[in-house]
Amino acid sequence: MIAMGGEAREAPMRPYVPPTACMALATCAAAALLMQAGWLRHGDEEVVPWGLVVALAAGGALAMAASTRLAAGARAGWAGVFKAARVEGPRDYAAAALMCAGVGFVCAAAASTLALWAWQRDAAFSREASVSSCIVRVEGDPRAGASGWSSTVVLADAPGGGRSCRVRAASGEAYEDGDVLHVVGRLDSLGDTDWDRSRFMKGEVGSLDVRAVLACEEGADRTPLGSLRAAAIQCIEPSRGAANAMLAGTVCGRVTELADEDAYAAFTRCGLTHLVAVSGSHLAYIAALVEAVLRRSRAGRGLRKAILLTAMGSYVVLSGGAPSAMRSVSMVGMATAAVLGGRRAHAPSALSLTVSLLVVLDPGVVFDLGFQLSAMSVLFITVFAPYMTFTLERLRVPALLAEPLALTLVAQWATLPLTIPVFGEVSLIAPVANLIVGPIMSALLVTGLVSVALATAVQMAASVLGPAVSLVLGHVGVLMWAPRFLAQLAMFLAGAIARVPFASISVPGAAWLPLAFYGAAVLLYVRWHAISPRGLGACASVLAALLVLHVVRWTLFAPAGVTVLDVGQGDAILLRDGAHAVLVDAGVDDATRAALARNHVFRLDAVVVTHWDRDHWGGLPDLAQTIPVDSLIVAEGAADGAPEEVRDLGVPIVELREGDALGVGAFSCAVVWPDEPVGGEENADSLVLDVAYRQGGRALSMLLTGDTERDELARYMREVGDIDVLKLGHHGSKVSVDGASLAVLDPEVAIASAGEGNSYGHPDPTCVDVVEKSGARFLCTKDVGDITITPGEQGVRATAGGG
């Protein structure tokens, strides 16, 4: 009991977890096992793992049979099991749970078998199909990539029927949902990467590289709802600016243009992307608007519910059918059916049935991150949000703030174990950001729904009635000002919040995260009344203090060392000493941010880009979103050649020439190459650093060569002289080093940075042989992961691992 405004308030009751939760768990587990087993066999002609299918189906049948035995006595047979759903005791609950689990296993086994068989059939067609003689139908919104645009398409051998398959198409232009194309291109099977696995789970059998588009019928295969959505997007004009792009994402679920905006990066850093995604909050507002209209009608209760569900379902399709929206509308449907059937609506039961239904309809959805985040956040909010609200109020948080703050905290609790391994970051400012920006996004959604609906209706009328409604159309355009203003306000606030130091931090994924987070949830549920709000608050405070100490330790007192990061086929070398950290090159993609996270890097004094090959700067835009970077350092003359993505970061660029030195704590990094101004585009233009450390009797000398090779090395090696460690140029290529240069430098350790299975064959066996013959120890990141060199009194120490 706590006193609230003079009244005593009881702690919330522990929510009831229904037996159907066992069905949801069993359905997800069985589907995950079968779909993963199918993926491991995707290169074979037979992808259905029949042995596992039979085992799961038999296990489900045994569970159902066991439930009838457990329910025997006062309730006998199958009818008794269904009556046991009333759960009048532990035995009834166990019987119902066993029955539900058995049903989940059997249904998932059947659904996954059908899905894998369909994929196998489509894959067989893709191997026989001639792209130029097929019809290509575009599904969904296009996505921008580094080399063009990509879309999911259906490749069919006949209009409106025949054999077909779903693939991912890459092209030089963006094509919209419902477009029908005739193309020339190359169709490839799925590979073995994580990206290929994600496409497999979506039912795609390969990738289509579009070389030429012979004909395009815009919108020829759109459904009526698809045409309505296209009209709404045309009214919004998302390509005209960030505010329009935000409006399109919030109202129509289109993020094609928004994904390229800086505002979306700010939303990501603040933990606000869920406010843009079409989810349960959107459907709640849709329901409120429809209910307001229906209350004025004389429609009966059942008809009103049917209209409401139809409107919500139509909006889900209209907005692109996101898994979170599908989950929400299914839950509403389950709850509505329960109420119309004379039963009490129960959110955990509706969630359990919804998850089971969605997995049966599409088994691959269990690997969809959006589906996972949606299901887990709703589960935790349903179960723990009232207790968290009660706890915050007990800790004297104002009631007006306690509930929204509790929702954010509980949602983060549910989703962090899923997002950290994927994105490698945690938004520390998300609770505050949600309190500030959340109400504005809600207002944006409501005004956007109304304004876009009116604008679309008038535009469609104008296409029929002609100029007679053009004046009205102009006035409707004025109505769009309100949601655009709200979008700009939300983006401004998100941008300001994202600039707060440590708004988000990079965190490495760890196997213990799900166990710790979800284990704590189980403990709280089991010990519901035994855990006091003050005790829960004390635990949260201790965890926060440990996090702060962790950040302080690695930002102010990091041990001196040089780490060659395992970032695949790219270069990234971290120099750190105490409060100072500099990254030499930034790899090719987001692997660099992940590598910095596992090495506990929270800020960088500078990033040195040796030259403008993408495998030396490509990861910079991604890491700069979460790690503050004070400056960029390049060779003299190379600043003018900086790629546009680098310029857009707004980080000052500083040029260094031969003879200049860069200090990183006790490290001194002298520039020894190039010996004249360069453009930075060639390997020979690479900025080369002679790194030296001498402090308290400990010493280290290391040469960072960028992509320079033996010809350049011969010109600056005598200036460098004897060193401890050589970072081999150009990933250990055949011409990176020779015996003569190794004799002059005489390194104890030589390190190459290269990616597993790279097409260049790096490191080249010739290079490895020359290094080993010189007596130096050879190490490569693709073999041992991150390689850290630390100075010592008796020589340097090399440790590997973590890649």
Q: What token pair was written down for 743?
A: 């004799």
CA distance 324 to 326: 5
pLDDT tens sequence across 282-313: 666 666 666 667 666 766 767 777 776 677 66
CA atoms within 13 A on the CB side of 129: 34
Q: What token pair was written down for 749?
A: 């350790």
pLDDT at site 778: 94
Angle, in degrees to the nearest 10, between helices 301-318 and 323-340: 170
CA distance 392 to 288: 29
CA distance 482 to 233: 17
CA distance 295 to 286: 14
CA atoms within 13 A on the CB side of 476: 23
pLDDT tens sequence across 521-579: 998 888 887 667 677 777 778 877 887 888 888 888 999 999 999 998 999 999 999 99
CA distance 226 to 221: 9
pLDDT at site 190: 92
pLDDT at site 329: 59
pLDDT tens sequence across 729-775: 999 998 999 999 999 999 999 999 998 878 888 899 999 999 999 99
Q: pLDDT-derived band of residue 231, with 50, 70 and 90 as boundaries?
A: confident
pLDDT at site 512: 82
Match 């609906």 to its residue by tokens: 453
Radius of gyration (C-alpha) of the chain in whole angstroms: 30
Letter string b/e over residues 13-26, b meaning 16 or more CB atoms within 10 A of that residue's CB: eebebbbbbbbbbb
User: How does the average pLDDT of the chain come out, rounded?
Assistant: 84
- pLDDT reading at 786 higher than 80: yes
Q: What is the residue-wise DSSP string for 193-245?
A: SHHHHHHHHTTEEEEEEEEEEEEEETTTT--HHHHHHHHHHHHH-GGG-HHHH
Can you name the residues that pair with 563 across neighbouring β-strands? 574, 788
pLDDT at site 637: 93
CA distance 236 to 226: 15
Match 């030429």 to its residue by tokens: 212
Name the region of 456 (left: φ>0; alpha: ψ -120 to 50; beta: rest): alpha
Which of 73-87, 460-474, 656-670 is predicted with the least confidence, judged by mean pLDDT? 73-87
Q: pLDDT-derived band of residue 210, with 50, 70 and 90 as boundaries?
A: very high
CA distance 780 to 732: 9
Match 């310029």 to its residue by tokens: 647
Q: How far is CA 686 from CA 631, 637, 733, in A?
A: 18, 12, 15
pLDDT tens sequence across 673-708: 999 999 989 999 999 999 999 988 899 999 999 999
pLDDT at site 154: 93
CA distance 445 to 451: 10
Q: How far is CA 455 from CA 98, 230, 233, 234, 445, in A?
A: 53, 13, 10, 10, 15
Q: Of the spans 394-403, 512-521, 605-614, which averages the highest pLDDT?
A: 605-614
- Mean pLDDT along residues 149-177: 88
Question: Contact 753/564 with Cβ under 8 angstroms?
Answer: yes
Q: What token pair was written down for 477?
A: 């355009």
Q: pLDDT-derived band of residue 79, with 50, 70 and 90 as boundaries?
A: very low
Name the region of 499 (left: φ>0; alpha: ψ -120 to 50; beta: rest): alpha
Question: Contact 663/669 with Cβ under 8 angstroms?
Answer: yes
> Is 0.85 topped by the overall pTM?
no
Other CB atoms within a 10 A radius of the CB of residue 128 amount to: 8
- Mean pLDDT along residues 661-679: 93
pLDDT at site 320: 66
- Mean pLDDT along residues 62-74: 76
pLDDT tens sequence across 387-396: 888 888 887 8
pLDDT at site 76: 43
CA distance 94 to 105: 16
Question: Contact 275/255 with Cβ under 8 angstroms?
Answer: no
* Strand-pair category, 749-752 with 725-727: parallel
pLDDT at site 82: 42
